[in-house]
Amino acid sequence: MPIIREGTVDTSKAARKRALVHQFATVTPEQAETWIDNNVTDLASAKQALTLLTTMVIYLRDYVRIAEED
């Protein structure tokens, strides 16, 4: 039986709202690629991009309530 991950702070509604206003919420794949090409130029900017992407993935995870298997 799947178990909902512990430590998720957002409920599905809150995560959906946060995902919808995230910087990457409305970009197309082409726009995302262009943004990365223009903005990821060194290690510091790569870390910033990874932080933004990770945040969006977490909002999506909490929205769909991805579960772990026992």
- pLDDT at position 30 is 93
- pLDDT at position 27 is 80
Of 57, 58, 64, 60, the C-alpha closest to 7 is: 58
Query: Residue 69 to residues 1, 58, 60, 66: CA-CA distances in angstroms?
Result: 6, 18, 19, 10
- pLDDT at position 56 is 80
Q: Answer yes or no: pTM beyond 0.85.
A: no
pLDDT band (50, 70, 90) for residue 13: confident
Listed in sequence order, the residues at least 6 apart from 23 whose beta carbon sits closer than 8 Å to its beta carbon are 52, 56
DSSP output for 26-42: T--HHHHHHHHHHH--S
Per-residue pLDDT of 14-69, as tens digits, reads: 777 776 766 777 788 899 899 899 989 999 999 988 988 888 888 777 777 765 55
